[in-house]
Structure 1
Amino acid sequence: MTTFVDRVVLHVQAGNGGHGCVSIHREKFKPFGGPDGGNGGHGGSVTLVVDPQAHTLLDFHFRPHAKAENGKGGAGGNRDGAKGADLVLKVPNGTTVQTLDGTVLADLVGAGTSFEIARGGRGGRGNAALASARRRAPGFAELGEPGDQLDVVLELKSVADVGLVGFPSAGKSSLISVISAAKPKIADYPFTTLVPNLGVVRVDEHTFTVADVPGLIPGAATGKGLGLEFLRHIERCAVLAHVVDTATLESGRDPVADIDAIEAELSAYGGLADRPRLVILNKIDIPDGQEMADLVRPDLEARGLRVFAVSAVSRQGLRELSYALAELVAAARAAAPPLEPTRIVLRPRAVDDAGFTVEPLDDGAFRINGVRPERWVRQTNFDNDEAVGYLADRLARLGVEDALAKAGAEPGALVRIGTYEFDWQPSHFADVDYVPSSRGTDVRLAEAPTRHSAAERLAARKARRQRPADEIDGDGDDDTGE
């Protein structure tokens, strides 16, 4: 049974926002009490949080789908819908969040570090919130906005101060078992260690962690053996320690050749050249091992490497090794840049920023890019003409129609906003002094009136305000068609 997983693909779905409610207050002696539809609740978000008690991504291996709760819809009586519950996922320290193409979104290091991976959708406003002096009883409400949906790769990189690297059966597991309280599996066959093991070492007032990385072989950086799967676990190590088997019986192997082979793989993997290194000549309790250690020590020291001859069985040389590792870790920590407190950077919007852009496309269509236009379109119920007219008014006030005209759009041109497409009809002029005659309808969408210039539309507005009362019929509608 799999007990350690360090890479998974997670399918994340934030909660959708609840729909707003269309409702009219009615009670005895108040046949028309005004709109009282409540707003929809926001959808829940999905957040990753580092938990010191989590050591593997095994939970996500068996449950790769994570979905937050949807927001509830609004109701009459000005009752807002409940907000969807957020979903908090606990991940191990050292988890990186990446897109499927390898782009790093977050690097989660440190207990309590969190990252909102998917934001819940906004709840739609009810008709009570949409009421205005011109539109006293809206016959529509906004739809809830869909929550974020994406696939990400969670990859665990062990957070340790010292990484033990070496060929299989070099004695790394035995070494970590005697210098710390870790109890890894130890056997006399290659690739006994299939998962990285972490151990905590205490030397006087110094405490540091040691990672036992599964055995590497030539070609590990290109995917041979288990190396490619576990080389990532030494990326965060401040110190690298070569563990060499001085008593190996394999032909063609010696400590110097083993170190050169491992260094070649580390160089091919990249990003580890600046880490301090030392060499641990293991198994000197065996006579042949002691002789080999005495033979190769001068050559290794000539390269500038600190060499320690030890035995995990007799525990010879372990005290000196522990003090040396503690010294290197302390120096690496002192050289590390100090952690700066998190600062919130405020970037005000530029004065001339319209909040959207118009992009002409190769097929003759035009795309409107912008957070607000795209959100407004997603929250519009296109089965309701009044809601469509309200959307047109909002886009016109934002300046979308004027920008399309300046970009060369002609009547009937295809316009794309988000995943929606429209045939642009500037003759359906928006942002006018229009009072809807009945809820849920918009006469501007019934028949396209003659297109007017901006000056003609402004003159029509002024004339309407100055028109005598006898030019308006009993139903309150303007007879001019404006």
Structure 2
Amino acid sequence: MARFIDRVTLNVSAGKGGNGCASVHREKFKPLGGPDGGNGGRGGDVVLEVDENVHTLLDFHFHQHAKATNGTQGMGGNRNGANGDDLVLRVPDGTVVLDREGTVLADLVGVGSRFEAAEGGRGGLGNAALASRARKAPGFALLGEDGQTRELVLELKSVADVGLVGFPSAGKSSLVSVLSAAKPKIADYPFTTLTPNLGVVSSGDTTFTIADVPGLIPGASEGRGLGLDFLRHLERCAVLAHVVDCATLEPGRDPISDVDALEAELAAYTPALAGDAGLGDLAERPRIVILNKVDVPEAEELAEMVTPEFEARGWPVFAISAVARTGLRPLTFALARLVREYREAHPKAEPARQVIRPVARDESGFTVVTDPDEPGGFIVRGRRPERWVAQTQFDNDEAVGYLADRLARLGVEDELVKQGAVPGAPVTIGDVSFEWEPQTAAGVDVVRTGRGTDMRLDQVDRVGAAERKHARRVRRGLEDDDE
């Protein structure tokens, strides 16, 4: 049996960028061929795209994890690695993408609309791209960047022109079945409909869609029952139609009290996308009242009694019988007219197809703060320094020296000095912690060193060891004086 799923949690992971290659060109009679390591390929993105053939989020209900492919590693001979393939996930029209905090990231309306859910990691540079005047033959390459990982919530909000609103067993499903070719489940017990049913109705030269929203009850706007799940599917409807059961035998219920109770729920519910869609709150949508089941004599009399009350509110009223199929033709013409008027008054300002990408990130800045967990320590935060640290091979001294040059050019060294950092102070950048030692000026390489090594690091190690040895001697002398 087919299932309708309209809310799922999806974990997406973009592909990792490929590592760069450290290689030296080797050819007969050319001993100094120079670096020729290629760059790593970019990781694949995860993209959500609206497909007209998808009508539910059922696939993501069973497969909640999606991962794009990684980029491949660069190779010698200036050969770059291949980019990872993008993973395109097909979603139904009307899908809303939210983050874990409930912030709306994208509202995908229109076939072909796309949203970049996770961005692939950058590929690492090979040593050919890292060569410079001061570093002619780098003995290292950069690692690939990890792809973005996100936890998203997908909500499906039906895209329909007319939404049928009413208490359970008011006859909404029966009305959809006689107005369109849709065949929803119909039974004589409440909450027969648990998922929205969409139908297409043609009236003259106007074609519109109609949604059979599951029955509402008082307290729906506060989450009672499945109210919030049901009300969500009314957010995009241009016209709301109250379907009233005039033949109900429940005590304390009548058409006017039913409509008033539902109007209170509609007024209390604020659509999350109302402002973006230009539709306004549900209380502002055009109304129409459908008095159903007038094939019953008592129901017909009741419909005649309450009609003036609804007309006094400015709402069109139609008495019909979905079972006997009476009064349907005037109803369809009235619905078509309301939909046409609403479309003319609220033209779509945005194109049917939209491509949404993540907001560009500012990578130029960084901050240095004191580490609350490490006395005398500091934490460096910033997109650029954190990415540089993640791309560094810390088992290669030359790569570490290159990282020091980059951090110095960015101004991290100067900022640490301003903050009062002293040699040996613990500094954390991203997931890496180290003892900070002031380096030489960025880009200075006065003495040629071996591949994969950096003389400055050896010098710092020697100086640091001497300073620590001197400090131990001083402490030992003070202890002898105390004795």
Q: Indicate the TM-score class for this superposition, using the shorter chain for normalisation.
A: 0.7 to 0.9
1:360 pairs, out of 369, 372, 391, with 369
- What are the Cα deviations for residues 174-207 of structure 1, in whole angstroms up to 9, with x where unaligned? 1011111111111111111111001111111111
When the two structures are superposed, what TM-score results if normalisation uses the length of structure 2?
0.87
Task: Please tell me whether the aligned partners of residues 165 and 241 of structure 2 are also in contact (alpha carbons under 8 angstroms).
Answer: yes
Cα distance in 1 between the residues matched to 2:156 and 2:360: 36
Q: Which deviates the most, 390-399 or 83-92?
A: 390-399
Cα distance in 1 between the residues matched to 2:115 and 2:356: 15
Q: Which deviates the most, 31-40 or 62-71?
A: 31-40
Q: Which deviates the most, 124-133 or 394-403?
A: 394-403
Task: Please tell me whether the aligned partners of residues 358 and 404 of structure 1 are also in contact (alpha carbons under 8 angstroms).
Answer: no
When the two structures are superposed, what TM-score results if normalisation uses the length of structure 1?
0.88
Residue segments in structure 1 that go unaligned for 5+ positions in a row: 452-482
Q: Which deviates the most, 186-195 or 268-277?
A: 268-277
Q: How much has 1:218 moved relative to structure 2? A: 1.5
Q: How much has 1:30 moved relative to structure 2? A: 3.0
Task: Please tell me whether the aligned partners of residues 45 and 87 of structure 1 are also in contact (alpha carbons under 8 angstroms).
Answer: yes
Q: Which residue of 1 aligns with 2:443?
A: 431
The question of 1:161 aligning with 2:178 is answered no
The question of 1:274 aligning with 2:284 is answered yes
Q: How much has 1:403 moved relative to structure 2? A: 2.6
Q: Which amino acid aligns with 1:265?
A: E
Q: How much has 1:27 moved relative to structure 2? A: 2.9
Q: Which residue of 2 aligns with 1:85?
A: 85
Q: CA distance change for structure 1 residues 332 and 50 in 2, over 3 Å: closer, same or farther? A: same
Question: Residues 29-68 of structure 1 correspond to what in structure 2 (within 5 A)?
Answer: 29-68=29-68
Cα distance in 1 between the residues matched to 2:343 and 2:379: 51
The question of 1:327 aligning with 2:350 is answered no
The question of 1:422 aligning with 2:434 is answered yes
Q: Which amino acid aligns with 2:127?
A: N
Task: Please tell me whether the aligned partners of residues 358 and 366 of structure 1 are also in contact (alpha carbons under 8 angstroms).
Answer: no
Q: Which residue of 1 aligns with 2:109?
A: 109
Task: Please tell me whether the aligned partners of residues 17 and 123 of structure 2 are also in contact (alpha carbons under 8 angstroms).
Answer: yes
Q: How much has 1:311 moved relative to structure 2? A: 1.0
The question of 1:403 aligning with 2:415 is answered yes
Q: CA distance change for structure 1 residues 36 and 427 in 2, over 3 Å: closer, same or farther? A: closer
Question: Residues 445-460 of structure 1 correspond to what in structure 2 (within 5 A)?
Answer: 445-448=457-460
Q: Which residue of 2 aligns with 1:10?
A: 10
Q: Which residue of 1 aligns with 2:452?
A: 440
Task: Please tell me whether the aligned partners of residues 356 and 368 of structure 1 are also in contact (alpha carbons under 8 angstroms).
Answer: no
Q: How much has 1:428 moved relative to structure 2? A: 5.3
Cα distance in 1 between the residues matched to 2:341 and 2:448: 75
Task: Please tell me whether the aligned partners of residues 354 and 398 of structure 1 are also in contact (alpha carbons under 8 angstroms).
Answer: no
Q: How much has 1:314 moved relative to structure 2? A: 2.1
Cα distance in 2 between the residues matched to 1:224 and 1:340: 35
Cα distance in 1 between the residues matched to 2:201 and 2:229: 25
Identical-residue share of aligned pairs (%)? 67
Cα distance in 1 between the residues matched to 2:269 and 2:299: 30
Q: CA distance change for structure 1 residues 90 and 387 in 2, over 3 Å: closer, same or farther? A: same
Residue segments in structure 2 that go unaligned for 5+ positions in a row: 271-280, 465-483
Cα distance in 1 between the residues matched to 2:420 and 2:313: 70
Q: Which amino acid aligns with 1:444?
A: R
Q: Which amino acid aligns with 2:225?
A: G
SS at match of 2:283: coil
Q: Which deviates the most, 393-402 or 96-105?
A: 393-402
Task: Please tell me whether the aligned partners of residues 366 and 383 of structure 2 are also in contact (alpha carbons under 8 angstroms).
Answer: no
Q: Which residue of 1 aligns with 2:317?
A: 307
Q: Which deviates the most, 39-48 or 296-305?
A: 296-305
Q: Which residue of 2 aligns with 1:200?
A: 200
Q: Which deviates the most, 419-428 or 155-164?
A: 419-428
Q: Which amino acid aligns with 2:331?
A: L
Q: Which amino acid aligns with 2:443?
A: D
Cα distance in 1 between the residues matched to 2:235 and 2:370: 44
